[in-house]
Structures are given as C-alpha cells and as structure tokens.
Structure 1
Amino acid sequence: MKGDVSQIVLAILTRETGEPLERWTFDIHVTEAAPGVLEGTAPSKPDSEIQSEIRAILKQISSAITFLPDHYDPTTFKLLAYTRDNGEVPVSEWVGSDAHLLPAAEAQQVKLRSFSTDLHRIEAMVAYRYTGDGA
C-alpha cells in the first residue's frame, strides 16, 4: 500500500451510542519529488526543519485541550484509513466503516498546522461537537 493512503482519521465516539464527538483528520498529499531527491543527490529539506514542523503540530494537538469540550461519558475511538481511488487495498485485511461525520449544525472545525517532507504534505484538522450549551 505504498503511497495509497490519502487520509487518516481518528474518530472519538461515545461508547454507549457510537455518536461522534471529535474527528481528527490528517490529509496526506503525495508530492512529486525533485529529481535526485530519492537517489540522495539533490538537496532535500533538512531533517531538523521537518522535525521542527512535526513538533509544532504535536504541540498544537496537545494544546487543543484548551478549546475542546470535556467528555464526561465513557468514549472509544476508531482509526480510519482512506485510500486513493487507484490504490491497491488488500480487501481481506481491511473492513469498510462509517465515516463518523459530525452533524454540520453541531460541529466546529479548527484547521491545524501542516508539515511537509520531500515526498509528502500533511494537513490536519479537528472537528468537534459543540452545541453551545456547555456539553
């Protein structure tokens, strides 16, 4: 499945009803590498810069506690992997799933930082249930 995954989603759900509370989305864009990058002959983005970008997004994710609503009832999660239309997916190893989308009228969305390597660009976003009543 090399390069076939286009999106990873972490869905936080109520354990009792399976209702989505949060949906963390990580879009994976495969970029065309500059000639020589794969062979190691062209200058690539420094590892230190990539690591700095990853640290920044991890810091933003961990600080999301400041705006995300508290969940008092037991929760569970599902990890979803979306593949490209032309991707080769070993059907025997994967199962279909509900997208666990939040109702638009009750959802807030926050775009998170992105980061890139020579081969990928990752864009992140969190959607969470917000009804305005403190729940």
Structure 2
Amino acid sequence: TFELLIYTDRNTSIPEGWDESGPQFVINSADIKLRSFSTTVHRVDHVISYKMTS
C-alpha cells in the first residue's frame, strides 16, 4: 500500500476524490531522495519514505 502526498499552492483546484490534509510523517522511516527536475515555472522534488519494520 502507498499514499501520495502532493504539495500545491493554496489556490490550486483539488481534483474530485482528493482530500486536503496537513503534512504526514512516517515514524521510524528510511527516506530515499530521487532525482529532482525543474522547468522554467516549477521545481519538482521526489522523496520516498519507507516504514522500517525492525
């Protein structure tokens, strides 16, 4: 199972079926940063957080 957490500007329209929430943190996690990319308008950073079981 996985969840997507997407940060947007406050005035961005949210698609139907999506919920608004605050930051979500995975306790006891390992984070992997993936390659970022930029356009002339946006910068996108990717991080995967895996919950450690032991």
Letter in 2 for 1:108: A
Would the alpha carbon gap of residues 80 and 94 (structure 1) be closer, same or farther in structure 2, given more than 3 Å must change? Answer: farther
| Structure showing greater relative contact order (alpha-carbon pairs closer than 8 Å, 6 or more residues apart) | 1
Q: Which residue of 2 aligns with 1:115?
A: 37
Spell out structure 1 runs of 4+ moving beyond 6 A: none
Show structure 2 runs of 5+ residues with no match. none
The residue that corresponds to 2:19 in the other structure is 96
Between Structure 1 and Structure 2, which shows a larger proportion of helix residues? 1
**Tell me, which stretches of 5 or more residues in structure 1 are unaligned?**
1-10, 13-77
Quick one: percent identity of the two aligned structures? 30
Rounded to whole Å, the distance in 2 between the matches of 1:109 and 1:81 is: 16
1:70 maps to: none
Give, in angstroms, the shift of residue 119 of structure 1. Answer: 1.8
Give the number of the structure whose alpha-carbon radius of gyration is greater: 1
Q: TM-score, normalised by structure 1?
A: 0.30
Output the TM-score relative to the length of structure 2: 0.59
